[in-house]
Amino acid sequence: MKNWITHPKVEGKASRQAHCDLPEGTYERELGKEGFFGPAAHMYHPNAPTGWTDFEGPLKPRAFDTTRLDTSTGSPWEATELMHNAHTRIRQWKSDGKMDHLVRNSDGDEMLFIHAGAGDLYCDYGRLPFRDGDYLMLPRGTMWRIQSEAPVELLLIEATNSSYMLPDKGLLGPHAIFDPAMLDTPKIDEAFKAQQGEGEWKVRVKRRNAISTITYPFNPLDAVGWHGDLMPVKINWRDIRPLMSHRYHLPPSAHTTFLANRFVICTFVPRPFETDPDALKVPFFHNNDDYDELIFYHAGEFFSRDNIHPGMMTLHPCGFTHGPHPKALKNAFTPKAEGTEEVAVMIDTRDALEVTEQAESIEWTGYVDSWKG
């Protein structure tokens, strides 16, 4: 139990309810601990907190366009690494869809988010078909490969030395957002049995980010059955039923999909806008001083960002105020549509992300200037 130094009070011209009833002519800015789970203060300013005219230094917001990566490879270990820290590695993989070998991650659980394409994943546990918008969680040590008739684009999120878990949904109960019964698992079906047999197979194992190759005179995906409570699982964003409040703009943490050690994965899916006239309809300005915030834009129109298209990523390092773009801010209380249309994957990391040279080669350096009013 954390015993925060806290003494709630209201000072000056302020609202008593966060994200609602802002004093006329003000912009709200949240300073919080523990990424929206800890104590917080809400400041009210006459000027937009992102209304800068110049920004220098490494803290600036950054954007990267993965659609500019045109290299297709046959293995996830040849994917383009974009960012990493001690607890996660984030890669973008354009697969040709035809893996002629198996892989195994011995550094941590692997999350595959299917950005484009469809096919089958074959692993120790059987066959798991996939399509665009699927999350596929593979426990550490799982042997696997994908097979598709066309290229597949994936976002790979490694939970280094860690395991993926589901968030505690508290008062909502375990069936909110998505029922665990919606998680699909691999099947030992006829297609899985058909790919078994003799013939040389190689398994490329990643450990401490180095690759070892193990050769078998048979396909090691030869299980005839299994039982237990450790297995790959799949969920599609279309099966997520987002939390909503018609009178209050919920923080991003309300959309947490998976947890790992020192980072979380959240999913933003289409939902109705708040209808209360005094409630904010766009993300509130906030510092998020405990997390780096990385968002991968999968589909739709991204209402709080301008000049962002599917396949792009934005990185907001912890320690600077961010929130809606000036264009979106005009609709803070009167949205142009009945609901959002965006689908995006957010990765909030407790430790700073290192940006690779490959990511810098596809960076949109003008992103920081797009915040200027």
- Average pLDDT (280-288) is 82
**Rounded to 5 degrees, what angle do the CA atoms 344, 347, 352 make?**
145
At residue 288, φ and ψ (nearest 5 deg) are 50, 60
Whether residue 34 is predicted with pLDDT greater than 80 in this model: the reply is no
Question: Which of the residue ranges 129-133, 225-229, 244-248, 320-324 would you say has the lowest mean pLDDT?
Answer: 320-324
Average pLDDT, the chain: 93
At residue 3, φ and ψ (nearest 5 deg) are -100, 80
Q: Which residue has the higher pLDDT, 140 or 301?
A: 140
- Average pLDDT (183-192) is 98
- Average pLDDT (330-338) is 81
Here the tokens at position 71 are 């290299």
DSSP state of 303: T
Would you kindly state where each structural domain of the chain is located, as residue ranges?
Answer: 27-64+241-371, 70-237
> What pLDDT shows up at residue 132?
98
> What pLDDT shows up at residue 218?
98
pLDDT tens, residue by residue, 114-173: 999 999 999 999 999 999 999 999 999 999 999 999 999 999 999 999 999 999 999 999
Q: Given pLDDT bands bounded at 50, 70 and 90, which one contains residue 265?
A: very high
> What pLDDT shows up at residue 50?
85
Name the percent of the chain lying above pLDDT 70. Answer: 99
Whether residue 10 is predicted with pLDDT greater than 80 in this model: the reply is yes
Whether residue 28 is predicted with pLDDT greater than 70 in this model: the reply is yes
> What pLDDT shows up at residue 328?
76
Alpha-carbon span 46 to 33, nearest angstrom: 24
> What pLDDT shows up at residue 175?
95
Q: Which residue has the higher pLDDT, 316 or 50?
A: 316
Distance from the Cα of residue 241 to its chain's centroid: 16
CATH number for the 70-237 domain, one of 3.40.50.970, 2.60.120.10, 3.30.1510.10, 3.40.50.280? 2.60.120.10
- For residue 306, give the nearest of 253, 337, 342, 278 by alpha carbon: 342
> What pLDDT shows up at residue 334?
83
Whether residue 276 is predicted with pLDDT greater than 80 in this model: the reply is yes
Q: What is the CA radius of gyration of the chain?
A: 22
Residue 271 burial by CB count (10 A; 0-12/13-18/19+): exposed, middle or buried? middle
- For residue 69, give the nearest of 347, 359, 306 by alpha carbon: 359
| Active-site hit among 249, 255, 316, 325 | 249
> What pLDDT shows up at residue 163?
98
The position carrying tokens 């297995």 is 231
Whether residue 332 is predicted with pLDDT greater than 80 in this model: the reply is no
- Residue 249 a catalytic site member: yes
Superfamily of segment(s) 27-64+241-371 = Jelly Rolls (2.60.120.10)
Composition of the chain by helix, strand, coil, percent to 5: 10, 40, 50
Question: Which of the residue ranges 2-16, 52-66, 147-161 would you say has the lowest mean pLDDT?
Answer: 2-16
Whether residue 5 is predicted with pLDDT greater than 90 in this model: the reply is no
| 322 annotated among ligand-binding-site residues | yes
| 292 annotated among ligand-binding-site residues | yes
> What pLDDT shows up at residue 373?
61
> What pLDDT shows up at residue 4?
83
What contacts 276, CB < 8 A, 6 or more positions away?
Answer: 20, 246, 247, 248
End-to-end CA distance of the chain: 43
Question: Which of the residue ranges 76-85, 247-256, 343-352 would you say has the lowest mean pLDDT?
Answer: 247-256
Asked if 218 and 201 touch (Cβ cutoff 8 Å), the reply is: yes
Summary count for the chain: helices (H), strands (E): 3, 23
> What pLDDT shows up at residue 209?
96
Q: Given pLDDT bands bounded at 50, 70 and 90, which one contains residue 229?
A: very high
DSSP state of 172: G
Q: Which range scores top for mean pLDDT: 50-54, 212-216, 365-369?
A: 212-216
